[in-house]
Amino acid sequence: MNTTANDHIALISVHGDPAVDIGGEEAGGQNVYVRQVGEALAQQGWQVDMFTRFADANQQRIVQHQPNCRTIRLTAGPAEFIPRHDIFGYGGNFVEELLKFCHNEGIQYSLCHTNYWISGWVGLELKKRLSLPMVHTYHSLGVVKYQSVEKIPPIASTRLEIEKDCLETADCIVATSPQEKEYMRELVSTQGNIEIIPCGTDINRFGSINYRNARTHLGIAPETTVIFYIGRFDERKGIETLVRAVGALKLRREETPLQLVLGGGSHPNKPDGAERQRIEGMVTELGMESFTHFPGRIDDGELSAYYAAADVCVVPSHYEPFGLVPIEAMASGTPVVASNVGGLQYTVVSEQTGLLVPPKDVESFRQAIDRILSHPEWRAQLSVNARKRVEEKFSWEGVAAQLSELYAQLISEPVASINQAQANV
Contact 71, 31 (CB under 8 A): no
Return the ∠ at Cα 63 (arms to 201 and 176), rounded to 5°: 30
Nearer to ligand UDP, 98 or 324 (CB): 324
Minimum distance, C-beta of residue 263 to ligand UDP, in the bound complex (Å): 5
Nearer to ligand UDP, 250 or 297 (CB): 297
Which position's Cβ is nearest ligand UDP? 28
Minimum distance, C-beta of residue 409 to ligand UDP, in the bound complex (Å): 27
Minimum distance, C-beta of residue 264 to ligand UDP, in the bound complex (Å): 3
Minimum distance, C-beta of residue 26 to ligand UDP, in the bound complex (Å): 8
Minimum distance, C-beta of residue 324 to ligand UDP, in the bound complex (Å): 4
Nearer to ligand UDP, 247 or 343 (CB): 343
Which residues of the chain form contacts with ligand UDP (CB under 6 A)?
22-23, 28-30, 32, 230-232, 263-264, 297-298, 303, 322-325, 328
Minimum distance, C-beta of residue 73 to ligand UDP, in the bound complex (Å): 20
Nearer to ligand UDP, 91 or 231 (CB): 231
Nearer to ligand UDP, 46 or 396 (CB): 396
Nearer to ligand UDP, 83 or 89 (CB): 83
Burial of 146 by CB count in 10 Å (0-12 exposed, 13-18 middle, 19+ buried)?
A: middle
Contact 115, 34 (CB under 8 A): yes
Nearer to ligand UDP, 132 or 214 (CB): 214
Minimum distance, C-beta of residue 86 to ligand UDP, in the bound complex (Å): 19
What is the side-by-side order of every strand in the sheet holding 258-263? Answer: 292-296, 258-263, 225-230, 312-315, 336-339, 354-357
Nearer to ligand UDP, 371 or 393 (CB): 393
Minimum distance, C-beta of residue 156 to ligand UDP, in the bound complex (Å): 19
Minimum distance, C-beta of residue 389 to ligand UDP, in the bound complex (Å): 17
Minimum distance, C-beta of residue 312 to ligand UDP, in the bound complex (Å): 16
Nearer to ligand UDP, 403 or 410 (CB): 403
Nearer to ligand UDP, 120 or 231 (CB): 231
Minimum distance, C-beta of residue 50 to ligand UDP, in the bound complex (Å): 16
Return the closest-CA partner of residue 114 out of 105, 106, 124, 102: 124
Residue type, 69: C
User: Could you give the angle at which helices 415-424 and 396-412 cross, rounded to 10 degrees?
Assistant: 100
Nearer to ligand UDP, 249 or 329 (CB): 329
Contact 305, 295 (CB under 8 A): no
